[in-house]
Structure 1
Amino acid sequence: MDHQNILRNLSFVPIRALGAGSFGRVFLVYDADITQQQIAVKIIMMKQLDNREWNTGSEFANMKTLSIIARQLNFSLPSYTFRALLKQILKGLSVFHAAGLVHHDIKCSNILMHCPLGSGRVHAKISDFGLANKKEDTINEQTYVVGTLLHMAPEMFKEPPNQDQSSDIYALGVAFYRLITHEYPVKPTTESQRKKMTRLKYIERPSKIKDDTFWDLLSRMLEFDPNKRIAAAKALQHHYFTSPEAIFDISLEQQDLALKAVTAELNGDKCITEFDKDPTFIVEESEIRKFIDPISYLYASLPYTITVEEKQLEDRLRDLNMTIEEIIKSLEIFKELNLLERDIVCANLCQLLKSSWNTKNKAINDGIIEIIVNSLKPLQDNEQIYPIYYKSLMIIIEETLAVDKYKIILEFILMLVKNSIVSLDDFIVFNGIRVYQQFLTSEADFQGEGNLIELRQRFEDDGPLEQLLKIFRSKTYKNEMIVNNAAIAIGYIYKAMRVPEKFGKAIIERNKVIISQPYLYIPIRALVGLGYLAEKPPTNSSKQFPLKYQWYISR
């Protein structure tokens, strides 16, 4: 499998492999589409997605995992940092459990810590969902257990074994126990020890745990009876987190970081969350860094030594400091560049165009659109054009007010995508449909509510609609997201008007089904499509376009 090709088709710039396991491989990548940050992405082999699946990724854990704290015997976290760290992890697990999921492998090495550059704060992130499944699936499959032996709950050693969300809580309790004692509460690594575990009634309090309130919470998490074990949401309400002593046990640095978040939000930063403003959720970078070798902390957890070239690539994708003059020079010889050089140029261009309205306007006036189009034209006949190559054009078209510039981009992209959606490569087809969606969304926003899409006639006359319908009706695509996105795009085309009767009902019904699917973004796009269809429907088509679709949009 060509992992780098898969990543590029998903708008990621591959930097290097971080590791491999039984269920897939993990890569450090630059996310050019959504976060514009370096993140870790895991590619998982799954038959139901034509042997290809990707997860949404998580930020690269530059502060490593909880294991660095569990293994450090010489010093410990202050109470306020320790409490905030536990609070973050429990909050994450409570959200995971609220979705009806069971992780199956909670342990210190699967809880990542990441500090966004310059933020001064550390985010804890539960990772490695390779064994995760739905709660009901776990209930129906009790013939075996999965996970890490030293973190397994007592009920998992009984016959028949029992493994559900409460088992995740026990495993997390073991992780919290290790952070203080640097030991495991029980070590069921041999047959005799496992039999002993089934006879135990509770775990005795170790002398290293001094805080009575913390031990009360931890003992509830390590409760041997799974029916009595505390849930993640209830644990967050425990007086270890909610008592006046806990609320006021915060450092000046936590208060300062919370105040900075409030100020940033007032200044228009839309990335600030409620947790950034709450000092009881803030884990200070300065405290976690004490556990890390300042020279090797970023790379020590990798299974191999990072090369000079990989380090340089990572730095260039982090800094993104090319000037517009350097970018233009590179675009003029774009065909001669290797894939990584192309990725870096495009990432820099996207970053520059997003930096400010004035910068983007100046670039447009200097002819950047024509330069981009001319750099890509030589590739379209014999080379794959990855999403990051035309991402800059999509950024421009989202906000440009210049009609003549819009038409240049429109004609080039329609020609490019028209070729891509007839490709035999599923990824190329998928990306082509997504570009159609983005164009149609921009057009819909420009036209305003209740007005028709002017591109509709082009789609009907020039072939894109016919090809989208073929994809929608096709039984050959094993990845249902391709068919789903085709249905969404067709819905966009018929904004504020009646969809032709021969396929209208099928398109609407498919969009309704998509809304309930467990993907990150596709249900939202389907909601938008239903909203477009609901705009000022003709009175004689109320049966086909009931106004109840407005209910979906309002939520």
Structure 2
Amino acid sequence: MKQLLQGLTIMHEKGIIHRDIKGQNILLHSPPGSGRVILKIADYGLVKKQEHALQSVQMTIAGTTPFQAPEMLMANARDVKADSTVDIWSAGIVFYQLATHEFPFDPHSLQSIMSFMMNKVLDRPASIEDDQEWDLITKMLSFDRKDRYTASRALDHPFFKAVNDADIPENAIHLAQQAQIAQQQGDISITQFDIDATFAIPLSDTREISGVDPEIENETIVIDYPSVNTVLRLPLSGTEQQNNQLIQLQETKCNNIVRKFKNVVDDEGRKLAIRAGIAESLTYIYETRELSTITQPYSAAYRFIAKPSSVEVRQLLYSKKPYPGLIRLLEHQDSEIVDHAVVTIYNILVSGISTNDTKPSTHFDDIQACDGIDKIFDLFKNNISKYSKDLASICIGRIFKATQLPVEFGF
């Protein structure tokens, strides 16, 4: 947590507001042979740059719903006056998750999240026994941004400052001592944080907790697709607790698919996944489930099955009738899920583009049948994400290739 807050301090002092801090955008990197883990903040697609650092600024609403600050989530307009403490709220949610392994609300229910924001009550879970830890979490999750801590103030909190040598693991102290020796021997890559044991995250601890070795960057991931498909086909028909457990299990399966295919060219692996029914199970979820129960891992899994891949793979996806489910995701409240959906639609759509410019898109009728054209155009008109807006406009152009645009589109 200390590394995350230090990173945010540096960003905020430079007038950079991330606006999408969450677990998925926090990467763990271990320089080979270092024995340490360095936290990296990723995905700067929603960054807001301030002319004057640490001051309020007018900005568009952005972020991932369960991590959005109250001033973002409850705004009545597309623009809101906010500051860098929107990142501190998001980091506070991450801190709460680390301490309790859950959210302070049901992350799958927008009603639960909004109720939490309106009631302005953060209950202390029994699992948080340390008073200083709880006090810092409440300061980071202050519902009024004016009372919320900045990143630098959070670093000065007694939770971090009151740490003594007895509280620091021996392996962390050893890492700091090694870094100090390396610095004395002329290693210019060593920073002030490397020689501070309170910032050290031993690789051995990360391996033990997560079961993942960050040093293995080209890890081979083996997935039993029929087994995954069986899990994805399970309906949400139990109690709330049972449904949440099933969602978590399905999210894990989807995250494994993302890890398997993200930025990896593996057409044969993708064909195996598609033929095992993974794509059809995901689109069935998109079509039938309450949107609030569809989280980012579900949409990301389909996105990375679709790309990077060959035209042959994307045509195979098209044969599984993906558009009704993907088009429905465009109505989701989570902007990142909308991004996943529209980029997937685009990637499948281009597989049906003929080299003959006079021939309409073969996908036109399928998209039209599920009211997709109007929904894509609505996304183009109304979405605040430039990424989604740009892709929507390209999709419209592809769909209407060699076909006259309707007058109401205003082009």
Q: Structure 1-normalised TM-score?
A: 0.37
Q: Structure 2-normalised TM-score?
A: 0.50
